[in-house]
Amino acid sequence: MTNVTGRCVGLALALSLAGGAAAQNPGAIEHHLRFGVRLVGQPDTALDILDRMRAYHVPGVSVAIIDNYRVVFAKGYGVAEFGRSKPVDSTTLFLAGSISKPVFASGFLRVVEDRRLPLDSDVNGLLKSWHLPESRFTTTEKVTLRRLLTHSAGLTVWGFPGYALGTAVPTVPQLLDGAPPANTPAVRNDTTPGARWLYSGGGMTIAQLVATDVTGESFPSLMDRVMLRPAGMTRSTYENPLPVARRGGAASGHEQLDTPVPGGFHVYPEMAAAGLWTTASDLARWAIALSRSYRGEPGGVLSTPMAQQMVSKQMRVLPPYGNGYWGLGVSVSGDGDSLSFSHNGRDEGFVANMMMWPARARGFVIMMNGVNGGLMNEIQRAIAEEYGVGAPPRMERRMVAVSAEKLAEFRGTFVGVVNRDTTRLEVSVAPDGKTLALYQAGPKHTVVLAPVGADRFVGLEGGGEWSFERSGEEPNAPVRALATGTGGNRRTFEKKG
């Protein structure tokens, strides 16, 4: 970790919008990860990606950067499995999690176009091998392909845990009915179709079955034909489980700290929702191809009208489920030149994120075989600083000067209960002598706390407030506790030593 003076995200965004930014250096990103908090008047902290991977216990990362509709940077970091030496490179396969959905959606929309399927008719009219049971919720409004792809069909089952390698895997009709050996409930309506947005991997799995029922092709072969190959995703596959011959080129997931998922990965028969094996570069090529379709340029994979439907605000997402819009299989934000489409992903031991701005010709893909989201945010801030897109402006706080003697008063072990588990926090003075280091034994992770007031600190990673409580009103009374959060989320840790 080194200290340098960096450009703030707000300035990078302004330059990007003005079209006057200097030439970008994508390679600089790996040495300029950023905390979520920028300390005003202090040298900014540049973080190295390998250092932060070790801090977050993420074994491997793959990054691809898009600029001017080209993959201008693609690189892997770390190892494919904890405790092993095989490196991650730009060709290493990762499970994409829910980013499987938008890639599937684009392929499915090609089938819709080729076969002139109706987006707004009852989906039961297209299904052959299984039918969604009618209910009081579907008396007047029906589940349609458009509603399946916009998560507005009123269906259950948010996501899927997958199946351990070597265990029984259900057929798609079995998992839609929640029948053994399925490990998730039946996919059914619990809301009137069209009434609201509610994320449903179950609905996407119904769309998967429509695709295979209509075409008569196996799902992996169909997706390879209609989308993966046309988009240039030559290393990608929806095959589940991943064929043995290809496992040597794949990363292992890590759901638990420093512990590979048994067998390396889970199997997802819900292939459209969670089963895409891919690389960051392949996903970037797909985002470029969809953007070209959206703009009516050569090299696209859908007709321009269909791509524009896909990347348009079709369904409003309202609290408590979010605050934004959904297109056909993708989250959609902004308007005009600021319009973007995106999706994140989460499978057993894997996380990923993809964002693309079609008018700006820029985007990125990040894939990891560890599940700590803090690292993802820090990488995205580095991308935003270099390219003006990818992360919101950083929080700014002003650090107050506290003597090393005063900081020493806060040292000690603090114990509390979080989610019924006993949690130990070890607080020490950081090596710089100006901040505190808070070590969390569970995740084996240290957070830097900067002083912002009397007995008050801010966590530089995410901006969380921490306050020390004393046993009396006097400023020098002994410290008795450490607290964080507000309201029902407030947690207090008593000092034990």
**pLDDT digits 0-9 by tens, 471-488:** 998 988 999 999 999 888
Residue whose token pair is 């053994």: 180
Inside any domain, residue 355: no
**Which of 16-30, 78-92, 160-174, 413-427 is the least confident region?**
16-30
Q: What is the tens place of the pLDDT at every residue in 283-326?
A: 999 999 999 999 999 999 999 999 999 999 999 999 999 999 99
Inside any domain, residue 330: yes
Mean pLDDT, range 398-411, rounded to an integer: 95
- The residue from 283, 304, 339 where one domain ends is 339
Give the Cβ contact number of residue 157 at 10 Å: 22
**Which of 15-19, 306-310, 380-384, 443-447 is the least confident region?**
15-19
Confidence of residue 398 (pLDDT cuts 50, 70, 90): very high
Q: What pLDDT score was predicted for residue 419? A: 85
Q: Which residues contact 284 (CB under 8 A, 6 or more apart)?
A: 64, 65, 66, 71, 74, 354, 363, 364, 365
325 and 450 share a domain?
no
Mean pLDDT, range 381-385, rounded to an integer: 96
Give the Cβ contact number of residue 369 at 10 Å: 32
Q: What pLDDT score was predicted for residue 17? A: 35
pLDDT at 439 over 50: yes
Nearest residue to 428 via CA among 482, 355, 383 = 482
- The residue from 300, 321, 339 where one domain ends is 339
- The residue from 287, 321, 339 where one domain ends is 339
Mean pLDDT, range 273-279, rounded to an integer: 98
Q: What pLDDT score was predicted for residue 418? A: 87
Angstrom CA distances, 288 to 297, 301, 349, 363, stand at: 11, 10, 27, 9
324 and 408 share a domain?
no
Inside any domain, residue 445: yes
Q: What is the tens place of the pLDDT at every residue in 154-189?
A: 999 999 999 999 999 999 999 999 999 999 999 999
Which two three-digit tokens encode residue 171?
Answer: 């057929």
Helix orientation angle between 100-115 and 201-215, rounded to the nearest 10 degrees: 40
pLDDT at 358 over 60: yes
Q: What pLDDT score was predicted for residue 487? A: 87
326 and 451 share a domain?
no
147 and 290 share a domain?
yes
Mean pLDDT, range 4-29, rounded to an integer: 49
417 and 331 share a domain?
no
Nearest residue to 269 via CA among 369, 168, 199 = 168
Q: What pLDDT score was predicted for residue 18? A: 34
CB 466 within 8 A of CB 458: yes
What's the CATH code of the domain at 154? 3.40.710.10
Nearest residue to 35 via CA among 466, 463, 357, 493 = 463
Inside any domain, residue 11: no
Mean pLDDT, range 27-50, rounded to an integer: 96
Mean pLDDT, range 126-134, rounded to an integer: 98
Inside any domain, residue 94: no
Inside any domain, residue 122: yes
140 and 241 share a domain?
yes
Q: Which residues contact 48 (CB under 8 A, 6 or more apart)?
A: 1, 2, 30, 31, 33
Q: What is the CB-side half-sphere exposure of residue 404 using CA atoms within 13 A?
A: 5
Q: How many domains does the chain have?
A: 2
pTM: 0.93
Confidence of residue 61 (pLDDT cuts 50, 70, 90): very high
Confidence of residue 8 (pLDDT cuts 50, 70, 90): very low
| Gap between the Cα atoms of 482 and 55, Å rounded | 23
Inside any domain, residue 7: no
Q: What pLDDT score was predicted for residue 23? A: 65
Residue type, 496: K
CB 468 within 8 A of CB 484: no
293 and 436 share a domain?
no
Q: What pLDDT score was predicted for residue 382? A: 97
Confidence of residue 5 (pLDDT cuts 50, 70, 90): very low
Q: What pLDDT score was predicted for residue 308? A: 98
323 and 445 share a domain?
no
How does the average pLDDT of the chain come out, rounded? 94
288 and 214 share a domain?
yes
3-state secondary structure 206-259: HHHHHHHHHHCCCHHHHHHHHHHCCCCCCCCECCCCCCHHHHHHECCCCCECCE
What's the CATH code of the domain at 450? 2.40.128
Cis peptide before 358 (omega within 30 of 0): no
Inside any domain, residue 68: no
Q: What pLDDT score was predicted for residue 453? A: 95
H/E stretch holding 52 reads: helix 49-56
Strands 37-39 and 395-397 come out as parallel
* Residue 473, strand partner residues: none
Q: What pLDDT score was predicted for residue 15? A: 32
Confidence of residue 24 (pLDDT cuts 50, 70, 90): confident
Structural domain of residue 280, as residue ranges? 99-339
Residue whose token pair is 């988009």: 231
Backbone angles phi, psi at 470, to 5 degrees: -105, 165
Nearest residue to 330 via CA among 279, 383, 287 = 287
